[in-house]
Amino acid sequence: MKRLFSLAVALAITMLLMLTAAGSSSRRTVTVVLNGETISFDTPAYIENNRTMVPIRAIAEALGLEVTWDQASATAWLSDESWTPSLKGRTIVVDPGHGGSADGASYGGVKESDLNLSIAQHLAEELRRYGANVVMTRTGDQDVSLSGRAAIANRVKADLFLSVHCNASLTNASASGIYTAYHSGSAKSRQAAILLKDAMISAASQPDMGAHQRDDLAVLRLTNMPAVLLECGFMSTPAELELLQQPEHQKKLSQGAAWGTALFLNAPTL
């Protein structure tokens, strides 16, 4: 795989040199995390509308690799199915949103708190498959305060905090897709939010609603470690509510989130 990747990079750079003969170009250090190994290299880059364009994606995808790109840190994560990442020794707090007297959204007799718990239980199972130590903030339909959820993660010194939610739109009856949120104070949280979102979209074949900075969310603000809030789909859209209730779909969402977590926590130098 490494040889294949070297070939891809060589091709990318050659193509870039050809491309940039006509456009504005500069050099930029790009970090690539390939199957958990970090490689940094200085490469010519094409700048367009202040975005750094490095043509890794097309070539890597042609080689069958999954690609996630973070523009802000110029990092590309590449992986393929031959990689078996481990989360041994890592503690991940999984937080099913709402519960007890707080139902969250409610559509068609389905409470968000119940959906969140069900998806979170699948997620815990998938993370444990990678060897992670998983701590849940609730395992039943009970009240847990927002500060209490963050306090659990801080106490166990979690490597990552994941809050599981389902979305709702009051203005768009056909809103659809996966949305993740992070706090602006943490570049690592932003990277995790991008990685988990991309992996969930890919695993569950859902639309991309983006990774967003949300400084208003208490659980993201009060946690001392990288933290991501996952909005798994829109309960306000009938077809999506149907899908969100299916155990098979919940499992796919969870497999994506667990894969994204493995990508994130296996990048030692970031």
Contact footprint for Zn ion (CB under 5 A):
97, 104, 165
Among residues 147, 144, 123, which one has the least CA distance to residue 203? 123
Q: What is the DSSP-derived secondary structure letter of residue 128?
A: H
| CA–CA dist 116, 96 (Å, integer) | 5
| Least separation in angstroms between CB 115 and Zn ion | 9
Q: Which is nearer to Zn ion, 16 or 168 (CB)?
A: 168
- Compute the distance between CA of residue 63 and CA of residue 133 in angstroms, rounded to an integer: 33
Please identify, using beta-carbon distances, which residue of 113 and 255 lies nearer to Zn ion.
Answer: 113
What is the C-alpha radius of gyration for the chain, rounded to an integer number of angstroms?
Answer: 19
Smallest separation (angstroms) from Zn ion to the CB of 120? 12
Measured CA to CA, the distance from residue 208 to residue 143 in angstroms comes to: 31
Query: What's the min distance (Å) between Cβ of 168 and Zn ion?
Result: 8
Residue nearest to Zn ion (CB): 165
Q: How crowded is residue 54: how many other Cβ atoms within 10 Å of its Cβ?
A: 19
For Zn ion, the closer of residues 111 and 165 by Cβ is 165
3-state DSSP assignment of residue 33: strand
Smallest distance from Zn ion to CB 234, Å: 12
Choose between 90 and 98: whose C-beta lies nearer to Zn ion.
Answer: 98
Least distance from Zn ion to the Cβ atom of residue 104, Å: 4
Secondary structure (DSSP) of 209-229: EEEEE-TT-HHHHH-SS-EEE
| Nearer CB in complex with Zn ion: 165/183 | 165
Report the helix count and the strand count for the chain, using DSSP H and E: 8, 13
**Contact indicator for 264, 197 with CB cutoff of 8 Å:** no
CB of 112 to Zn ion, least distance (A): 5
As given in the structure block, the two tokens for residue 263 are 């990508």
- Nearer to Zn ion among residue 165 and residue 252 (C-beta): 165
